[in-house]
Amino acid sequence: METALLTRNRSTDTNGSHFSEEIKKAVWNKAKEAEGYDPNIIRKDYCGALMQWDKYGDTEMFGLGWEIDHIKPVALGGNDDLSNLQPLQWQNNRNKANKYPTSDYCEMP
């Protein structure tokens, strides 16, 4: 019997649903404040890459788009607890992929 692999869209919860605005804001608030910028608009991810609040899901090359990352990937048993979620600039999120544990995924400073 063949088992089909289910794939989730990026920045979705373990069930493949979009995160609520409440969760999205809580994850955003985990990002570092960027000196000289309004923290409601611009913040930095773990790698130091700038992200812009209203660019959530935007994947423009070298842009300020960001995604919600599961620190421990869903594919490896990660869950949707806030402690397992972090904001990442989209290219850093793609580079991290399903690596865990890891801290060596920063592509965009």
Is residue 29 situated within a structural domain?
yes
Is residue 103 situated within a structural domain?
no
| pLDDT, tens digit, 9 for 90 and up, residues 65-88 | 999 999 999 999 999 999 999 999
Is residue 64 situated within a structural domain?
yes
* pLDDT attached to residue 20: 96
What type of residue is 45?
D
Domain holding 45, by residue range, is: 21-96
Is residue 9 situated within a structural domain?
no
Is residue 10 situated within a structural domain?
no
| pLDDT, tens digit, 9 for 90 and up, residues 24-59 | 999 999 999 999 999 999 999 999 999 999 999 999
CA distances for 65 relative to 44, 45, 76, 92, 103, angstroms: 11, 11, 25, 10, 20
Domain total in the chain: 1
Is residue 13 situated within a structural domain?
no
**109, pLDDT greater than 50:** yes
DSSP state of 56: B
Residues with Cβ within 8 Å of residue 50, at least 6 apart in sequence? 34, 37, 42, 43, 44, 64, 89
Is residue 30 situated within a structural domain?
yes
